Amino acid sequence: SSFMESVAVQEVSPGNTRVGWIGTGRMGMPMCSHLQNAGFEITVFNRTMKKAQILCDRGATYVDSPFAVAQCSDVVFTMLGNASQVRQVILGKNGVLAGLRSGGIIVDCSSSEPSLAREIFSLAEAKGIQSVDAPVSGGEVGAHEGALVIMAGGREETVKRLEPLFKFMGKATYMGPAGTGQSCKLANQICVAANFLGLAEGLTYAHIAGLDLSTFLGAVSCGAAGSKIMEIFGPRILRGDLSPGGFAEYMVKDLGLALKETQEMGASFPGLALSQQIYLSLVAHGDGRLGAQSVLSLYHLKDLSVPADP
């Protein structure tokens, strides 16, 4: 408890919690906006300054490094593209850990490696700083609506303390010690990838068999074949909308991370391996910037879209 006493256990609230945010891309920007709208004071850094402009126009302070963000903040969020960026931004010499006061909290929302999350946690703890790995699921839509699934690893009391921040971005679930948030995200992606594959093949089969695809989706979506993926992406596919829900290349990254982890588990994951290869071939064909539902294009049916009623 002496550790907990050394943390200024102030309640997290707009009045006394300064928030730092690093990474204002397609996910980071809307997530951070929710905290700004809730009245939190925001200090922000992004590699491309103009992507943080909207936040700055509404009162956020822009600084020139992760270190500077940490110096001005009590809780620092990171939302970055991959594990090497996370390592650099948090552990680098001009990074968050170097600039954050004892008693501060680091929350990494990037999808990254469980082992890196554990490493950050122990290096942070040695400085009297708490670290939480809190990757998210729900894509851009979830980020904009404040309806993300947040999977949190670290100390349970730290995750509880962060609830006044998490609640504006979505629903946080405490998963266990450091790294379990990232492990949960990888398990999530394994399920998601297999779901996309099933939807793509089912639609392709129905299309070639001459079924009306809207009628097909309407018929099966309430039965055992139904899924959140079908609900969200079925209609998009029929509209010919392959826009980024989660870039196909991010699927490759996440599934690749999962495969790397499984090599140490000594268990077999054939569906995961297949999914990763399928998304990899999409990226190789130049479709990596499309949404994950672009997995359809592998079936040479770029367009299953149904003409709108005249």
Q: Is residue 51 flagged as an active site residue?
A: no
CB 255 within 8 A of CB 248: no
Both structure tokens of 253: 């990254």
| Active-site choice (51, 127, 185, 302) | 185
| 3-class secondary structure per residue, the chain | CHHHHHCCCCCCCCCCCEEEEECCCCCHHHHHHHHHHCCCEEEEECCCHHHHHHHHHCCCEECCCHHHHHHCCCEEEECCCCHHHHHHHHHCCCCHHHHCCCCCEEEECCCCCHHHHHHHHHHHHCCCCEEEECCEECHHHHHHHCCEEEEEECCHHHHHHCHHHHCCCEEEEEEECCCHHHHHHHHHHHHHHHHHHHHHHHHHHHHHCCCCHHHHHHHHCCCCCCCHHHHHHHHHHHCCCCCCCCEHHHHHHHHHHHHHHHHHHCCCCHHHHHHHHHHHHHHHCCCCCCEHHHHHHHHCCCCCCCCCCC
**Residues with catalytic function:** 185
